[in-house]
Chain A
Amino acid sequence: MKTAVVVFPGSNCDRDVKVALEQSAGPGVQMVWHKETSLPDGLDLIVLPGGFSYGDYLRSGAVAAHSPIMREVKARAEAGTAVLGICNGFQILTEAGLLPGIMLRNRDLRFLCKDVCLKVETSQSLFTARYESGETIRVPIAHHDGAYFVDEEGRRSLEDNSQIAFRYCDEQGHVTPESNPNGSISNIAGVFNESKTVLGMMPHPERLSDVALGGTDGRGLFDSLVETLS
């Protein structure tokens, strides 16, 4: 699996996601600075990592979405290359128009940094093949602007096309208002594009992908990508 991680000024999970990817796929993940205008040939996966690109100025991800490299990321995404956006990467993908919706300030206005439970909505994707549909996994969140918003028509279309990847749930896997940490519409924690080749998610699977980090529930996502893209 040939992978590139895009690094923006203010990215801070770029190396973490590289470690997690290389644990599953072996060495060779390439880091690409946002001012580049081209990506390496033959990529299977492009990752937009977490962080605070451009200090979250204007709106989280809004400035990074217009970085020079993003034109190339959009072109590759449109040609079918898999793209994964984690946290700030998810915000950038929505601002770039590669995923529907947008992230608003958390409901309680606080920065949230804790483990949450996620329900894997489908195992039928490049990113979730190693999980069971309906499985509950534990993954950390770390964000201030994480309340996913999409209008009612958009929400229905996400449901109808099975584009919801993960929802916040309780430990038993029940999707409840109490288990929604940030006020996201329908507890949505991650969404796919229509062809399920682009995934954006607020939780950080790379932060729980090694026993030394306290858990391995996030590793399934990287293992899934290796299995489906290699």
Chain B
Amino acid sequence: MKARVHVTLKSGVLDPQGKAIGHALEALGFSGIGEVRQGKVIDLEIDETDADSARIQVEAMCQKLLANTVIENYDIELNP
């Protein structure tokens, strides 16, 4: 099974990279840009066919390593 983990910064955490991207877009002439936040996507292949146990496993991976929950939220997408 494949899993895609989206890691995003929690609201209230300063994201200077997102800000810089926003400024760069404005410099390129794109207008009407509000807040820009940068995150990460992590694609995983796991040796598991049951969606529920896959989710439990990936959830544990997120808690232990893939995200730091002090500053980040995560969202898990499973693709059988």
A interface list, Cβ under 8 A from B: 58-59, 62-63, 66, 94-95, 101-102, 104-109, 147, 149-151, 183
Contacts known (A149-B70, A149-B71); A105 close to B17, Cβ less than 8 A = yes
**A37 CB to nearest chain B CB (Å):** 19
**B16 CB to nearest chain A CB (Å):** 5
B interface list, Cβ under 8 A from A: 12-14, 16-17, 20, 64-66, 68, 70-71
Assembly CA distance A95 to B66 (angstroms): 11
**B21 CB to nearest chain A CB (Å):** 11
Assembly CA distance A101 to B13 (angstroms): 12
Cβ of A102 and Cβ of B71 under 8 Å apart? yes
Instruction: Kindly list chain B residues whose C-beta atoms are within 8 Å of the C-beta of A94.
Output: 70
Instruction: Kindly list chain A residues whose C-beta atoms are within 8 Å of the C-beta of B13.
Output: 104, 149
Interface centre among B13, B14, B17, B64 (most CB of A within 10 A): B14
Assembly CA distance A59 to B20 (angstroms): 19
Contacts known (A101-B70, A102-B70, A102-B71); A147 close to B14, Cβ less than 8 A = yes
**A111 CB to nearest chain B CB (Å):** 13
Closest chain B residue to A147, Cβ basis: B14
Closest chain B residue to A154, Cβ basis: B70
Instruction: Kindly list chain B residues whose C-beta atoms are within 8 Å of the C-beta of A150.
Output: 70
Assembly CA distance A191 to B42 (angstroms): 31
**A55 CB to nearest chain B CB (Å):** 15
Assembly CA distance A109 to B14 (angstroms): 12
Selected A-B contacts with CB under 8 Å, 19 pairs: A58-B65, A59-B68, A62-B65, A63-B65, A66-B65, A94-B70, A102-B68, A102-B70, A102-B71, A104-B14, A104-B71, A106-B16, A107-B16, A108-B16, A109-B16, A147-B14, A149-B70, A149-B71, A151-B12
Interface centre among B13, B64, B66, B71 (most CB of A within 10 A): B71
Closest chain A residue to B66, Cβ basis: A58
